Amino acid sequence: MIFDDFLVRATLAGVGVALAAAPLGCLVVWRRMAFFGDATAHAAILGVALALLLSTSIFAGVLVVSLLMATLVSLLSGKGYAMDTLLGVMAHSSLALGLVAVSFVSGVRIDLMAYLFGDILAVGKGDLAIIWSGAALVVALMGWRWSRLLTATLNADLAYASGIDPQREQLILTLSLAIVVAVALKVVGILLIAALLIIPAATARTFSRTPETMVVAAALVGMMAAVGGLQTAYWLDTPTGPTIVSLAAALFALAGLIANSRRLLWWAMASRTGG
Protein backbone atom coordinates (compact mmCIF):
# COMPACT_ATOMS: atom_id res chain seq x y z
CA MET A 1 0.00 0.00 0.00
CA ILE A 2 1.25 3.48 -0.91
CA PHE A 3 0.35 4.93 2.50
CA ASP A 4 2.56 2.37 4.24
CA ASP A 5 5.61 4.40 3.17
CA PHE A 6 6.31 6.95 5.92
CA LEU A 7 7.99 9.34 3.48
CA VAL A 8 4.91 9.36 1.25
CA ARG A 9 2.68 10.10 4.26
CA ALA A 10 5.03 12.87 5.38
CA THR A 11 5.08 14.41 1.89
CA LEU A 12 1.28 14.35 1.62
CA ALA A 13 1.01 15.90 5.09
CA GLY A 14 3.37 18.73 4.16
CA VAL A 15 1.52 19.41 0.90
CA GLY A 16 -1.83 19.45 2.71
CA VAL A 17 -0.63 21.99 5.26
CA ALA A 18 0.94 24.15 2.53
CA LEU A 19 -2.33 24.26 0.57
CA ALA A 20 -4.32 25.27 3.65
CA ALA A 21 -1.76 27.84 4.77
CA ALA A 22 -1.45 29.63 1.40
CA PRO A 23 -4.69 31.68 1.30
CA LEU A 24 -4.59 32.33 5.03
CA GLY A 25 -0.96 33.40 4.88
CA CYS A 26 -1.74 35.93 2.17
CA LEU A 27 -4.56 37.43 4.23
CA VAL A 28 -2.34 37.49 7.32
CA VAL A 29 0.38 39.35 5.39
CA TRP A 30 -2.10 41.84 3.92
CA ARG A 31 -3.73 42.47 7.30
CA ARG A 32 -0.38 42.66 9.16
CA MET A 33 -1.55 39.92 11.51
CA ALA A 34 1.69 37.97 11.64
CA PHE A 35 1.70 37.97 15.45
CA PHE A 36 -1.71 36.31 15.51
CA GLY A 37 -0.29 33.09 14.08
CA ASP A 38 2.37 33.06 16.80
CA ALA A 39 -0.21 33.75 19.51
CA THR A 40 -2.51 30.94 18.37
CA ALA A 41 0.42 28.56 18.09
CA HIS A 42 1.57 29.39 21.62
CA ALA A 43 -1.95 28.68 22.87
CA ALA A 44 -1.69 25.22 21.32
CA ILE A 45 0.72 24.20 24.11
CA LEU A 46 -2.14 24.68 26.57
CA GLY A 47 -4.31 22.49 24.32
CA VAL A 48 -1.69 19.74 24.37
CA ALA A 49 -1.44 19.91 28.17
CA LEU A 50 -5.22 19.82 28.70
CA ALA A 51 -5.58 16.91 26.30
CA LEU A 52 -2.97 14.93 28.22
CA LEU A 53 -4.56 15.79 31.58
CA LEU A 54 -8.02 14.75 30.34
CA SER A 55 -6.73 11.74 28.36
CA THR A 56 -8.32 12.95 25.15
CA SER A 57 -7.10 13.45 21.59
CA ILE A 58 -4.18 15.88 21.24
CA PHE A 59 -5.70 17.23 18.03
CA ALA A 60 -9.04 17.86 19.75
CA GLY A 61 -7.38 19.67 22.66
CA VAL A 62 -5.29 21.88 20.38
CA LEU A 63 -8.27 22.63 18.12
CA VAL A 64 -10.57 23.60 21.00
CA VAL A 65 -8.00 25.88 22.68
CA SER A 66 -6.99 27.45 19.33
CA LEU A 67 -10.64 28.13 18.47
CA LEU A 68 -11.24 29.67 21.90
CA MET A 69 -8.15 31.83 21.47
CA ALA A 70 -9.30 33.00 18.03
CA THR A 71 -12.82 33.76 19.28
CA LEU A 72 -11.59 35.72 22.30
CA VAL A 73 -9.21 37.81 20.20
CA SER A 74 -11.96 38.64 17.71
CA LEU A 75 -14.42 39.57 20.46
CA LEU A 76 -11.99 41.67 22.51
CA SER A 77 -10.21 43.49 19.66
CA GLY A 78 -11.32 47.08 19.30
CA LYS A 79 -12.80 47.17 22.82
CA GLY A 80 -10.16 49.12 24.65
CA TYR A 81 -7.27 46.81 23.84
CA ALA A 82 -4.65 47.27 21.14
CA MET A 83 -4.41 44.11 19.01
CA ASP A 84 -0.66 43.58 19.57
CA THR A 85 -1.03 44.05 23.33
CA LEU A 86 -3.97 41.64 23.49
CA LEU A 87 -2.15 39.01 21.45
CA GLY A 88 1.00 39.39 23.53
CA VAL A 89 -0.84 38.90 26.82
CA MET A 90 -2.85 35.91 25.58
CA ALA A 91 0.07 34.24 23.80
CA HIS A 92 2.48 34.28 26.71
CA SER A 93 -0.21 33.58 29.30
CA SER A 94 -1.47 30.50 27.48
CA LEU A 95 2.09 29.27 26.86
CA ALA A 96 2.96 29.65 30.55
CA LEU A 97 -0.26 27.97 31.66
CA GLY A 98 0.37 25.12 29.22
CA LEU A 99 3.89 24.50 30.51
CA VAL A 100 2.63 24.59 34.11
CA ALA A 101 -0.19 22.17 33.24
CA VAL A 102 2.28 19.77 31.58
CA SER A 103 4.18 19.53 34.87
CA PHE A 104 1.05 18.00 36.47
CA VAL A 105 0.84 15.23 33.90
CA SER A 106 2.03 12.02 35.55
CA GLY A 107 2.48 8.59 34.09
CA VAL A 108 2.60 9.92 30.54
CA ARG A 109 5.84 10.17 28.62
CA ILE A 110 5.68 13.20 26.35
CA ASP A 111 8.16 14.62 23.87
CA LEU A 112 7.77 18.40 24.02
CA MET A 113 10.28 18.81 21.20
CA ALA A 114 7.91 16.96 18.86
CA TYR A 115 5.12 19.40 19.70
CA LEU A 116 7.37 22.45 19.55
CA PHE A 117 9.17 21.66 16.29
CA GLY A 118 6.99 19.00 14.69
CA ASP A 119 7.47 15.32 13.91
CA ILE A 120 6.29 14.94 10.33
CA LEU A 121 8.01 11.58 9.88
CA ALA A 122 5.70 10.13 12.54
CA VAL A 123 2.51 11.10 10.65
CA GLY A 124 0.13 8.16 10.49
CA LYS A 125 -2.87 7.45 8.30
CA GLY A 126 -5.21 8.94 10.89
CA ASP A 127 -3.09 12.09 11.12
CA LEU A 128 -3.10 12.33 7.33
CA ALA A 129 -6.88 12.12 7.24
CA ILE A 130 -7.15 14.89 9.85
CA ILE A 131 -4.66 17.13 8.01
CA TRP A 132 -6.37 16.79 4.63
CA SER A 133 -9.86 17.12 6.12
CA GLY A 134 -8.79 20.33 7.86
CA ALA A 135 -7.07 21.59 4.72
CA ALA A 136 -10.13 20.88 2.58
CA LEU A 137 -12.37 22.66 5.09
CA VAL A 138 -10.13 25.75 5.16
CA VAL A 139 -9.74 25.90 1.38
CA ALA A 140 -13.51 25.52 0.89
CA LEU A 141 -14.19 28.22 3.50
CA MET A 142 -11.69 30.58 1.88
CA GLY A 143 -13.19 29.95 -1.56
CA TRP A 144 -16.68 30.65 -0.24
CA ARG A 145 -15.75 33.87 1.60
CA TRP A 146 -12.84 35.04 -0.57
CA SER A 147 -14.39 38.17 -2.12
CA ARG A 148 -15.83 39.25 1.24
CA LEU A 149 -12.57 38.62 3.08
CA LEU A 150 -10.64 40.49 0.41
CA THR A 151 -12.99 43.48 0.53
CA ALA A 152 -12.87 43.62 4.33
CA THR A 153 -9.06 43.40 4.17
CA LEU A 154 -8.70 46.21 1.63
CA ASN A 155 -11.02 48.75 3.25
CA ALA A 156 -13.43 48.45 6.18
CA ASP A 157 -15.55 51.38 4.98
CA LEU A 158 -15.88 49.83 1.52
CA ALA A 159 -16.89 46.56 3.19
CA TYR A 160 -19.63 48.28 5.21
CA ALA A 161 -20.86 50.04 2.07
CA SER A 162 -21.06 46.65 0.33
CA GLY A 163 -23.09 45.13 3.17
CA ILE A 164 -20.13 43.18 4.58
CA ASP A 165 -19.38 43.05 8.31
CA PRO A 166 -15.57 43.27 8.71
CA GLN A 167 -15.73 41.88 12.25
CA ARG A 168 -17.55 38.77 11.04
CA GLU A 169 -14.99 38.26 8.28
CA GLN A 170 -12.15 38.66 10.79
CA LEU A 171 -13.77 36.03 13.01
CA ILE A 172 -13.98 33.62 10.05
CA LEU A 173 -10.32 34.29 9.26
CA THR A 174 -9.18 33.74 12.84
CA LEU A 175 -11.20 30.53 13.17
CA SER A 176 -9.66 29.26 9.93
CA LEU A 177 -6.22 30.10 11.30
CA ALA A 178 -7.01 28.10 14.42
CA ILE A 179 -7.88 25.06 12.28
CA VAL A 180 -4.60 25.36 10.34
CA VAL A 181 -2.64 25.61 13.59
CA ALA A 182 -4.27 22.42 14.83
CA VAL A 183 -3.62 20.42 11.65
CA ALA A 184 -0.06 21.79 11.19
CA LEU A 185 1.01 20.79 14.71
CA LYS A 186 2.28 17.39 13.56
CA VAL A 187 4.14 18.80 10.55
CA VAL A 188 6.18 21.80 11.69
CA GLY A 189 5.29 22.11 15.37
CA ILE A 190 3.95 24.95 17.46
CA LEU A 191 6.93 27.29 17.22
CA LEU A 192 7.23 27.11 13.41
CA ILE A 193 3.57 27.23 12.30
CA ALA A 194 3.56 31.01 11.92
CA ALA A 195 6.66 30.78 9.71
CA LEU A 196 4.92 28.38 7.31
CA LEU A 197 1.98 30.79 7.16
CA ILE A 198 3.97 33.96 6.56
CA ILE A 199 7.15 33.10 4.62
CA PRO A 200 5.54 31.50 1.51
CA ALA A 201 3.03 34.38 1.28
CA ALA A 202 5.79 36.98 1.68
CA THR A 203 7.83 35.20 -1.00
CA ALA A 204 4.89 35.08 -3.40
CA ARG A 205 4.15 38.76 -2.89
CA THR A 206 7.41 39.67 -4.61
CA PHE A 207 6.23 38.45 -8.02
CA SER A 208 2.42 38.55 -7.81
CA ARG A 209 0.24 41.17 -9.48
CA THR A 210 -3.18 40.00 -8.24
CA PRO A 211 -4.40 38.49 -4.94
CA GLU A 212 -5.33 35.23 -6.64
CA THR A 213 -1.92 34.75 -8.27
CA MET A 214 -0.30 35.47 -4.91
CA VAL A 215 -2.34 32.69 -3.30
CA VAL A 216 -1.37 30.21 -6.04
CA ALA A 217 2.29 31.25 -5.82
CA ALA A 218 2.24 30.96 -2.01
CA ALA A 219 0.82 27.44 -2.29
CA LEU A 220 3.58 26.47 -4.74
CA VAL A 221 6.30 27.96 -2.52
CA GLY A 222 4.85 26.22 0.52
CA MET A 223 4.73 22.86 -1.27
CA MET A 224 8.29 23.29 -2.56
CA ALA A 225 9.47 24.07 0.97
CA ALA A 226 7.58 21.11 2.46
CA VAL A 227 8.70 18.53 -0.11
CA GLY A 228 12.23 19.90 -0.52
CA GLY A 229 12.71 20.37 3.22
CA LEU A 230 11.53 16.83 3.88
CA GLN A 231 13.99 15.38 1.36
CA THR A 232 16.84 17.57 2.63
CA ALA A 233 16.18 16.58 6.24
CA TYR A 234 16.14 12.91 5.22
CA TRP A 235 19.47 13.20 3.38
CA LEU A 236 21.25 15.35 5.96
CA ASP A 237 19.59 13.82 9.05
CA THR A 238 18.43 17.21 10.33
CA PRO A 239 15.21 18.13 12.22
CA THR A 240 12.45 18.05 9.62
CA GLY A 241 10.22 20.95 10.73
CA PRO A 242 13.06 23.48 11.07
CA THR A 243 14.54 22.26 7.77
CA ILE A 244 11.23 22.92 5.98
CA VAL A 245 11.07 26.44 7.38
CA SER A 246 14.76 27.04 6.60
CA LEU A 247 14.16 26.10 2.96
CA ALA A 248 11.14 28.43 2.86
CA ALA A 249 13.38 31.21 4.20
CA ALA A 250 15.98 30.42 1.53
CA LEU A 251 13.30 30.70 -1.17
CA PHE A 252 12.25 34.05 0.30
CA ALA A 253 15.83 35.31 0.18
CA LEU A 254 16.23 34.05 -3.40
CA ALA A 255 13.01 35.77 -4.47
CA GLY A 256 14.19 39.02 -2.92
CA LEU A 257 17.58 38.73 -4.63
CA ILE A 258 15.96 38.12 -8.03
CA ALA A 259 13.52 41.01 -7.54
CA ASN A 260 16.32 43.41 -6.56
CA SER A 261 18.45 42.25 -9.49
CA ARG A 262 15.58 42.91 -11.86
CA ARG A 263 15.09 46.40 -10.43
CA LEU A 264 18.80 47.19 -10.75
CA LEU A 265 18.83 45.91 -14.33
CA TRP A 266 15.77 48.01 -15.20
CA TRP A 267 17.36 51.08 -13.58
CA ALA A 268 20.61 50.53 -15.50
CA MET A 269 18.77 50.14 -18.81
CA ALA A 270 16.64 53.21 -18.10
CA SER A 271 19.74 55.25 -17.25
CA ARG A 272 21.48 54.14 -20.44
CA THR A 273 18.43 54.97 -22.53
CA GLY A 274 18.08 58.35 -20.85
CA GLY A 275 21.77 59.06 -21.41
| Distance from C-alpha of 40 to C-alpha of 43, rounded to nearest angstrom | 5
- pLDDT value for 69: 81
The pLDDT value given to residue 112: 67
Indicate the pTM of the whole model: 0.85
Which has the closest alpha carbon to 174: 62, 69, 21, 98?
69
pLDDT attached to residue 219: 94
The rounded Cα 134 to chain-centroid distance in angstroms is 13
Note the Cα 150 to chain centre separation in Å.
18
Q: Which residue has the higher pLDDT, 263 or 196?
A: 196
Q: What is the pLDDT of residues 81-134, one digit of tens each?
A: 666 677 778 878 887 888 788 777 776 566 667 777 778 878 888 888 888 998
Domains of the chain from N-terminus onward: 2-194 (1.10.3470.10)
Residue 43 has pLDDT above 60, yes or no: yes
